[in-house]
């Protein structure tokens, strides 16, 4: 009897401390506009985008993205809390969940400012079309979001911080779908051109790694769809930053077992 009890007790402890419970998305997890002053949001296209429900296409620690019905645009909201889509075995994360030590999202004001700066300086390099950070002078439409479970939520866009970008194909998928070294080289050349443009405009990426989910292909060129740790620091940018960008990308490429044409020679 003691052995049976001990077995059940052990199973309970494993379940309690090691199984990370699903903490599904809710609109309350979205960052709201925090500035009291109102400003103009001159982006009429938002009314067309919001006419049809927006479908979930992905999320990170800081944001969650939804695509428009015509698949041309992405509306990205920022999170005030990390969420998990399913229950799974992950002890470290479960312990954080138990003690409320989730990943802490960045200051929403700082995030919005970085995206506004990118919209002003890097619209082509990021695919950014609009940034909504303040309460708008205009009355923005209601919007329906459909999450990964098919659940629908209606939100008032006036209340939330969000950005609108052109939809692009994530680099990670493009690279792994490339069957030849020539195709990988073509993508690498597009990224190199992007790194040059970003650094020449005074921006640096303070991350130590290349995140393939932050980059994508759009209309024949590479773009940075998630700013990650991008910062405007002209004094540190230019040639050195371009080299750092490229080195991080090359390291990731090699870790995937992929090579460009030049590396195979």
The CB density around residue 81, as the number of other CB atoms within 10 Å, is 15
pLDDT at 113: 84
Residue 15 has pLDDT above 50, yes or no: no
Q: Using 50, 70 and 90 to split pLDDT, how confident is the model at 75? A: very high
Over residues 209-246, the pLDDT tens digits come to 888 889 999 998 999 999 988 888 887 766 667 788 87
Pairing verdict, β 54-59 and 88-89: unpaired
Name the pTM for this structure. Answer: 0.80
Q: Which of 250, 253, 242 is nearest to 204 (CA)?
A: 242
Q: What is the spatial distance between Cα 213 and Cα 210, in angstroms, rounded to a whole number?
A: 9
| Tokens found for residue 212 | 């393939």
| Structural tokens at position 25 | 């998305």
E-strand spans in 140-191? 142-146, 152-156, 162-166, 169-170
As a 3-state breakdown, the chain gives helix, strand, coil percent values, each rounded to 5, of 40, 25, 35
Backbone angles phi, psi at 46, to 5 degrees: -60, -30
Q: How many other CB atoms sit within 10 Å of the CB of residue 108?
A: 21
Render pLDDT for 33-64 as a digit per residue (tens, 0 to 9).
866 666 778 899 999 999 999 999 988 878 89
Give the percent of the chain with pLDDT over 90.
Answer: 36
Kindly report, as residue ranges, where domains of CATH 1.10.510 are found in the chain. Answer: 169-264
C-alpha distances (whole Å) from 99 to each of 37, 61, 84, 108 are: 36, 18, 16, 24
- The CATH code belonging to domain 169-264 is 1.10.510
């Amino acid at each position: 009897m003691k052995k049976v009890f001990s077995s059940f007790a052990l199973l309970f402890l494993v379940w309690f401390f090691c199984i990370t419970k699903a903490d599904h998305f809710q609109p309350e997890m979205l960052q709201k506009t925090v500035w009291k002053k109102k400003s103009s949001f001159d982006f009429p296209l938002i009314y067309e985008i919001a006419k049809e429900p927006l479908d979930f296409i992905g999320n990170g620690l800081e944001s969650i993205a939804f695509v428009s019905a015509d698949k041309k645009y992405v509306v990205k909201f920022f999170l005030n809390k990390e969420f998990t889509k399913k229950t799974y075995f992950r002890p470290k994360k479960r312990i954080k969940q138990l003690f409320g030590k989730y990943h802490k999202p960045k200051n929403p004001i700082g995030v919005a400012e970085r995206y506004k700066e990118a919209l002003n300086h890097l619209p082509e390099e990021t695919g950014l079309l609009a940034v909504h950070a303040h309460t708008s002078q205009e009355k923005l439409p209601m919007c329906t979001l459909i999450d990964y479970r098919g659940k629908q939520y209606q939100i008032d866009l006036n209340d939330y911080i969000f950005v609108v970008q052109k939809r692009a194909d994530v680099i990670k998928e493009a690279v792994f779908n490339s069957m030849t070294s020539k195709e990988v080289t073509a993508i690498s050349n597009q990224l190199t051109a992007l790194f040059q443009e970003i650094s020449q405009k005074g921006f640096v990426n303070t991350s130590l790694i290349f995140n393939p989910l932050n980059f994508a292909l759009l209309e024949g060129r590479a773009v940075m769809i998630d700013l990650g740790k991008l910062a405007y620091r002209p004094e540190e940018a230019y040639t050195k930053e371009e080299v750092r960008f490229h080195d991080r990308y090359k390291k990731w490429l090699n870790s995937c077992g992929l090579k460009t044409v030049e590396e195979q020679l």
